[in-house]
Amino acid sequence: MNPAIATITDRVRQRVQREGVDLARDGSIAERYVRDEVQRYSERALGGSAPLLADEGAATRQVVAALTGYGPLQPFFDDDSVEEIWINSPRDVYIARAGVSERAGLELTDGQVRDLVERMLQSTGRRVDLSSPFVDASLPDGSRLHVVIPDITQRHWAVNVRKFTQRIRDLQGLVALGSLTNQAAEFLRMSVLAGLNILVSGATQSGKTTLLGAMLSASRPSERIVTVEETFELDVSAPDTVAMQCRQSSLEGTGEVTLRRLIKEALRMRPDRLVVGEVREAEALDLLIALNSGLPGMCSIHANSAGDALAKLTTLPLLAGRNIDSGFVLPTVAGCIDLVVHCELERRGHRRIREIIAPTGSVDEGSLAADTIFTMRDGVLAATGTHPARAGKFAAAGLDPAVVLGAPA
């Protein structure tokens, strides 16, 4: 922050303290106070007592951001092309645009990084300190914040902000971006309407959450959707929706609400569809039990391929305890999961759907059999001509996959 901006910021802070106002409640007050002080500073500068401001408008925005926004990071929050912001150290700040990372050309101080994190966490009710060196939180605009502090990190605070975006609200939005074909989008829409249990897989930042939200936009308006996540990321436009997130334990070590607990509570809320933001651990067992009860559901999972996603889902439930074995898990996954959609992030930053497979329901020598419905051919997601082996849910909903996929090969 240059000396002129620092001077103006300090004077506005002094006025705020003197008058006892709360800038967080009314952003217009902050803008008015800053404009007044910028004008006073410019008048003094014309008299030769201070250096002139190169751009009064830019100075006003910078001071307002320092007082009510996220300071030096605010321009990246305001830039819709920026998808993610992360800080490795005060001098190593990066951003990502269209899946490609770049250095932000911004240098901070340790104090500025701490102040920014404290400001971000102010409205979340979450904390980060020596007793709780990790924090996951949703910012007021829906962006996801993750922070790790020393001595977990070597020296500096590590901060990551995955920005919330509303640019892609439905499957046609993904078609327009070239992430999937219109035929694949129509098949996914039909699958959602038929109440199929859908697993979305992919690496970090491959677009799993975006795809979940886009598919949910195809659900019937009368459906009651309950979503559970570690931190809020899903943006569901359905009118009858309840969203829940986990909670950290208090300083006394009490009050923690886990994903397993949320899945169990969701079943008591009369859902027509259960959505789990991401399964990583033993909550996979609770998800399978819920889906095995006949409740339609969706979830995402980290995996390298659709086949790996199925294999991982047969392993995670074993973390729930010694009394859970593969003799229960394998047939349950085979019977519950109807579709696996795998997402991919290319080196150039383009996100796309790479394959869609449909488990047949059978288990062959400890592995789940599945048919490939769509696969990548010459860089294009193309139908294979194979239809899902289990068509009962489509028939019950009065839908026919052949309308989209064509006659079986």
pLDDT digits (tens, 9 = 90+) for 331-385: 999 999 999 999 999 888 889 999 999 999 998 887 899 999 999 999 899 999 9
- The token pair at 367 is 């592995």
**pLDDT at residue 1 in the model:** 62
Residue range 262-266: average pLDDT? 96
Environment class of 349 (CB within 10 Å of its CB; exposed 0-12, middle 13-18, buried 19+) = middle
Nearest CA-CA partner of 263 in 297, 213, 234: 297
- The SS3 of residue 253 is coil
First to last CA, the chain: 65
Alpha helices in 177-320 (DSSP H): 182-193, 208-216, 259-266, 283-292, 306-313
- The SS3 of residue 340 is strand
Question: How far apart (Å, rounded) are the C-alpha atoms in residues 266 and 224?
Answer: 11
Nearest CA-CA partner of 96 in 163, 165, 142: 163
Environment class of 288 (CB within 10 Å of its CB; exposed 0-12, middle 13-18, buried 19+) = buried
- The token pair at 98 is 């269209």
**pLDDT at residue 308 in the model:** 96
**pLDDT at residue 153 in the model:** 94
Largest CA distance in the chain: 86
Nearest CA-CA partner of 339 in 317, 321, 313, 376: 313
How sure is the predictor about 26, in pLDDT bands with cuts at 50, 70 and 90? low
Nearest CA-CA partner of 14 in 49, 43, 46, 40: 40
- The token pair at 129 is 């300190």
Q: Is the pLDDT of residue 402 over 80?
A: yes
Question: How far apart (Å, rounded) are the C-alpha atoms in residues 259 and 229?
Answer: 7
Residue range 91-113: average pLDDT? 91
Residue range 213-229: average pLDDT? 95
**pLDDT at residue 27 in the model:** 65
Q: Which fold does the domain 73-162 belong to in CATH? A: Beta-Lactamase (3.30.450)
Question: How far apart (Å, rounded) are the C-alpha atoms in residues 140 and 137?
Answer: 10
Question: How far apart (Å, rounded) are the C-alpha atoms in residues 118 and 126?
Answer: 10
**pLDDT at residue 200 in the model:** 98
Give the pLDDT confidence of 276-310 residue by residue, as tens digits: 999 999 999 999 999 998 999 999 999 999 999 99
CB 102 within 8 A of CB 95: yes
Q: Is the pLDDT of residue 114 over 70?
A: yes
Place of tokens 């109440």: 195
- Which helix (H) or strand (E) segment holds residue 383: the answer is strand 380-383
Mean pLDDT of the chain: 90
pTM of the entire predicted model: 0.81
**Which residues, other chains included, contact 234 with Cβ-Cβ below 8 Å and sequence gap of 6+?**
209, 212, 213, 216, 227, 243, 275, 277
Q: Is the pLDDT of residue 327 over 80?
A: yes
Ramachandran area for residue 297 (φ above 0: left; ψ -120 to 50: alpha; else beta)? beta
Strand order in the sheet with 367-377: 241-245, 225-229, 273-276, 297-302, 198-202, 339-345, 351-364, 367-377, 380-383
Q: Domain 171-405: what homologous superfamily?
A: P-loop containing nucleotide triphosphate hydrolases (3.40.50.300)
Residue range 164-179: average pLDDT? 85
Which percentage of the chain shows pLDDT scores above 90? 58
How sure is the predictor about 409, in pLDDT bands with cuts at 50, 70 and 90? low
**pLDDT at residue 167 in the model:** 66
Give the pLDDT confidence of 44-70 residue by residue, as tens digits: 888 777 778 888 888 888 887 777 778
Environment class of 95 (CB within 10 Å of its CB; exposed 0-12, middle 13-18, buried 19+) = buried
How sure is the predictor about 235, in pLDDT bands with cuts at 50, 70 and 90? confident
- The token pair at 195 is 């109440």
- The token pair at 185 is 């989008």
**pLDDT at residue 13 in the model:** 81
How sure is the predictor about 21, in pLDDT bands with cuts at 50, 70 and 90? confident
Q: Write the CA distances from 301 to 237, 239, 243, 340, 392, integer angstroms.
A: 22, 26, 19, 10, 25
**Which residues, other chains included, contact 267 with Cβ-Cβ below 8 Å and sequence gap of 6+?**
274, 290, 293, 295
- Which helix (H) or strand (E) segment holds residue 65: the answer is helix 56-68
Residue 55: CB atoms within 10 A of its CB come to: 9
Which percentage of the chain shows pLDDT scores above 70? 97
How sure is the predictor about 24, in pLDDT bands with cuts at 50, 70 and 90? low
Ramachandran area for residue 99 (φ above 0: left; ψ -120 to 50: alpha; else beta)? left
Q: Where are the domains of the chain?
A: 3-68, 73-162, 171-405
